[in-house]
Protein backbone atom coordinates (compact mmCIF):
# COMPACT_ATOMS: atom_id res chain seq x y z
CA UNK A 1 0.00 0.00 0.00
CA UNK A 2 1.36 3.41 -1.00
CA UNK A 3 1.49 6.32 1.45
CA UNK A 4 0.11 9.45 -0.20
CA UNK A 5 0.54 13.14 0.58
CA UNK A 6 -1.92 15.62 -0.89
CA UNK A 7 -0.92 19.25 -1.49
CA UNK A 8 -3.91 21.61 -1.75
CA UNK A 9 -4.50 25.34 -1.37
CA UNK A 10 -8.29 25.57 -1.62
CA UNK A 11 -11.36 23.43 -1.11
CA UNK A 12 -9.61 20.26 -2.19
CA UNK A 13 -12.33 18.67 -4.31
CA UNK A 14 -9.80 16.36 -6.00
CA UNK A 15 -8.36 15.52 -2.58
CA UNK A 16 -11.85 14.50 -1.47
CA UNK A 17 -12.40 12.50 -4.66
CA UNK A 18 -9.18 10.53 -4.18
CA UNK A 19 -9.95 9.97 -0.49
CA UNK A 20 -13.47 8.79 -1.32
CA UNK A 21 -12.10 6.23 -3.79
CA UNK A 22 -9.63 5.00 -1.18
CA UNK A 23 -12.41 4.53 1.36
CA UNK A 24 -14.36 2.57 -1.26
CA UNK A 25 -11.38 0.25 -1.66
CA UNK A 26 -10.72 1.29 -5.26
CA UNK A 27 -7.22 2.66 -4.61
CA UNK A 28 -4.55 0.62 -2.84
CA UNK A 29 -3.17 3.57 -0.95
CA UNK A 30 -3.59 5.70 2.15
CA UNK A 31 -3.57 9.49 2.49
CA UNK A 32 -1.31 10.12 5.47
CA UNK A 33 -0.66 13.84 5.07
CA UNK A 34 -2.32 17.00 3.76
CA UNK A 35 0.03 19.91 2.99
CA UNK A 36 -1.39 23.38 2.41
CA UNK A 37 -0.18 26.97 2.23
CA UNK A 38 -3.60 28.08 3.49
CA UNK A 39 -4.45 27.27 7.10
CA UNK A 40 -8.09 28.22 6.50
CA UNK A 41 -8.57 26.08 3.40
CA UNK A 42 -11.40 23.64 2.99
CA UNK A 43 -8.79 20.94 2.40
CA UNK A 44 -7.31 21.47 5.87
CA UNK A 45 -10.76 21.32 7.45
CA UNK A 46 -11.59 18.11 5.56
CA UNK A 47 -8.28 16.52 6.58
CA UNK A 48 -8.83 17.29 10.25
CA UNK A 49 -12.38 15.98 10.08
CA UNK A 50 -11.07 12.72 8.62
CA UNK A 51 -8.10 12.35 11.00
CA UNK A 52 -5.50 13.01 8.30
CA UNK A 53 -2.30 14.70 9.44
CA UNK A 54 -1.67 18.25 8.23
CA UNK A 55 1.32 20.49 7.55
CA UNK A 56 1.04 24.23 6.87
CA UNK A 57 3.62 25.41 4.31
CA UNK A 58 3.20 29.12 4.98
CA UNK A 59 6.26 30.85 3.56
CA UNK A 60 6.23 34.59 4.24
CA UNK A 61 9.90 35.54 4.17
CA UNK A 62 12.69 34.18 2.00
CA UNK A 63 14.81 33.51 5.06
CA UNK A 64 12.10 31.23 6.38
CA UNK A 65 11.57 29.26 3.17
CA UNK A 66 14.56 26.94 3.53
CA UNK A 67 13.57 26.14 7.10
CA UNK A 68 10.05 25.27 5.97
CA UNK A 69 11.41 23.13 3.13
CA UNK A 70 13.57 21.11 5.49
CA UNK A 71 10.70 20.68 7.94
CA UNK A 72 8.44 19.52 5.13
CA UNK A 73 11.00 17.00 3.87
CA UNK A 74 11.37 15.67 7.42
CA UNK A 75 7.60 15.35 7.69
CA UNK A 76 7.32 13.53 4.36
CA UNK A 77 10.12 11.16 5.37
CA UNK A 78 8.57 10.56 8.78
CA UNK A 79 5.37 9.19 7.22
CA UNK A 80 7.24 7.33 4.44
CA UNK A 81 5.61 9.09 1.50
CA UNK A 82 5.53 7.15 -1.79
CA UNK A 83 3.38 9.54 -3.81
CA UNK A 84 2.61 13.26 -3.74
CA UNK A 85 -0.58 14.49 -5.44
CA UNK A 86 -1.01 18.19 -6.12
CA UNK A 87 -4.71 19.02 -5.95
CA UNK A 88 -5.14 22.71 -6.55
CA UNK A 89 -1.84 23.61 -4.89
CA UNK A 90 -0.96 27.11 -6.09
CA UNK A 91 2.69 27.32 -5.05
CA UNK A 92 5.69 26.09 -7.00
CA UNK A 93 7.13 23.09 -5.19
CA UNK A 94 10.59 23.58 -3.68
CA UNK A 95 13.23 22.09 -5.98
CA UNK A 96 14.51 19.91 -3.12
CA UNK A 97 11.12 18.21 -2.92
CA UNK A 98 10.96 17.72 -6.69
CA UNK A 99 14.44 16.18 -6.80
CA UNK A 100 13.81 13.89 -3.84
CA UNK A 101 10.46 12.62 -5.18
CA UNK A 102 11.23 12.70 -8.91
CA UNK A 103 8.53 10.85 -10.91
CA UNK A 104 6.50 10.41 -7.73
CA UNK A 105 4.66 13.75 -7.84
CA UNK A 106 1.43 14.08 -9.81
CA UNK A 107 -0.41 17.25 -10.78
CA UNK A 108 -3.79 17.80 -12.42
CA UNK A 109 -4.38 20.82 -14.65
CA UNK A 110 -7.73 22.02 -16.06
CA UNK A 111 -6.67 22.41 -19.71
CA UNK A 112 -4.95 20.47 -22.45
CA UNK A 113 -1.34 21.34 -21.72
CA UNK A 114 0.81 22.96 -22.96
CA UNK A 115 -2.06 25.33 -23.83
CA UNK A 116 -3.23 27.56 -20.96
CA UNK A 117 -0.55 26.37 -18.58
CA UNK A 118 2.32 27.91 -16.67
CA UNK A 119 2.60 30.55 -13.99
CA UNK A 120 -0.64 32.46 -13.43
CA UNK A 121 -2.84 29.87 -15.13
CA UNK A 122 -4.90 28.18 -12.43
CA UNK A 123 -8.55 27.63 -11.52
CA UNK A 124 -11.06 29.97 -13.09
CA UNK A 125 -8.30 31.96 -14.80
CA UNK A 126 -7.70 28.97 -17.08
CA UNK A 127 -11.37 28.66 -18.03
CA UNK A 128 -11.70 32.40 -18.62
CA UNK A 129 -8.73 32.29 -20.99
CA UNK A 130 -10.15 29.26 -22.82
CA UNK A 131 -13.55 30.91 -23.33
CA UNK A 132 -11.94 34.17 -24.42
CA UNK A 133 -9.77 32.35 -26.98
CA UNK A 134 -12.82 30.90 -28.72
CA UNK A 135 -11.38 27.39 -29.03
CA UNK A 136 -13.85 24.51 -29.09
CA UNK A 137 -11.89 22.04 -27.01
CA UNK A 138 -10.40 22.07 -23.55
CA UNK A 139 -9.85 19.25 -21.10
CA UNK A 140 -7.82 17.78 -18.28
CA UNK A 141 -4.12 16.95 -18.08
CA UNK A 142 -2.42 14.81 -15.46
CA UNK A 143 1.35 15.00 -15.48
CA UNK A 144 4.43 14.38 -13.40
CA UNK A 145 5.88 17.47 -11.73
CA UNK A 146 9.25 18.99 -12.49
CA UNK A 147 10.87 22.27 -11.40
CA UNK A 148 8.60 24.46 -13.56
CA UNK A 149 4.87 25.14 -13.61
CA UNK A 150 2.90 22.60 -15.69
CA UNK A 151 5.88 21.40 -17.74
CA UNK A 152 6.42 17.84 -16.49
CA UNK A 153 5.87 14.72 -18.58
CA UNK A 154 2.20 14.20 -19.44
CA UNK A 155 0.64 10.91 -18.32
CA UNK A 156 -2.87 11.33 -19.70
CA UNK A 157 -5.22 13.92 -21.18
CA UNK A 158 -8.97 13.88 -21.66
CA UNK A 159 -10.80 16.32 -23.90
CA UNK A 160 -13.90 18.33 -23.01
CA UNK A 161 -15.92 20.08 -25.71
CA UNK A 162 -16.42 23.83 -25.25
CA UNK A 163 -19.92 24.64 -26.47
CA UNK A 164 -21.01 28.08 -27.69
CA UNK A 165 -23.16 28.77 -24.62
CA UNK A 166 -20.44 27.87 -22.09
CA UNK A 167 -19.33 30.43 -19.54
CA UNK A 168 -16.13 29.95 -17.51
CA UNK A 169 -18.24 28.64 -14.62
CA UNK A 170 -20.03 26.09 -16.80
CA UNK A 171 -16.74 24.94 -18.29
CA UNK A 172 -15.23 24.69 -14.81
CA UNK A 173 -18.05 22.40 -13.73
CA UNK A 174 -17.63 20.17 -16.80
CA UNK A 175 -13.86 19.99 -16.29
CA UNK A 176 -14.22 19.13 -12.60
CA UNK A 177 -16.55 16.24 -13.44
CA UNK A 178 -13.78 14.75 -15.58
CA UNK A 179 -11.06 15.52 -13.01
CA UNK A 180 -12.90 13.71 -10.22
CA UNK A 181 -13.00 10.52 -12.31
CA UNK A 182 -9.61 10.72 -14.03
CA UNK A 183 -7.37 11.66 -11.11
CA UNK A 184 -8.35 8.68 -8.92
CA UNK A 185 -7.73 6.36 -11.91
CA UNK A 186 -4.17 7.62 -12.29
CA UNK A 187 -3.52 7.49 -8.55
CA UNK A 188 -4.82 3.91 -8.62
CA UNK A 189 -2.47 3.06 -11.51
CA UNK A 190 0.50 4.55 -9.65
CA UNK A 191 -0.34 2.67 -6.46
CA UNK A 192 -0.53 -0.58 -8.44
CA UNK A 193 2.83 0.11 -10.15
CA UNK A 194 1.20 0.29 -13.57
CA UNK A 195 2.92 3.46 -14.78
CA UNK A 196 6.07 2.63 -16.76
CA UNK A 197 8.64 4.70 -18.62
CA UNK A 198 9.34 4.11 -22.30
CA UNK A 199 11.60 6.43 -24.31
CA UNK A 200 11.47 8.91 -21.41
CA UNK A 201 7.66 9.06 -21.48
CA UNK A 202 5.23 7.65 -18.89
CA UNK A 203 2.96 4.87 -20.14
CA UNK A 204 0.04 3.30 -18.26
CA UNK A 205 -0.17 -0.49 -18.61
CA UNK A 206 -3.36 -1.92 -17.16
Q: Which residues are catalytic?
A: 109
CA distances from 173 to 17, 178, 193 (A): 15, 9, 31
Is it true that the peptide bond before 173 is cis, omega within 30 degrees of 0?
no
Q: What are phi and psi of 194, to 5 degrees?
A: -110, 10
Q: What are phi and psi of 101, to 5 degrees?
A: -115, 40
Task: Indicate if the alpha-carbon torsion angle 111, 114, 115, 119 is positive or negative.
Answer: positive
Task: Indicate if the alpha-carbon torsion angle 105, 111, 112, 117 is positive or negative.
Answer: negative
Q: What is the largest distance, in Å, between two alpha-carbon atoms of the chain?
A: 50
8 Å CB contact between 205 and 41:
no
Amino acid sequence: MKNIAIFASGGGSNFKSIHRNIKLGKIFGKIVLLVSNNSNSGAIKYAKKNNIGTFIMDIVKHSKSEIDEELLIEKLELVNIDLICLAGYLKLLPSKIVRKYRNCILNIHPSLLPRFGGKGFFGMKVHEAVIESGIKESGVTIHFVDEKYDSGKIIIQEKVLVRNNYTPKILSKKILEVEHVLYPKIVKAFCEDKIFWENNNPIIKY
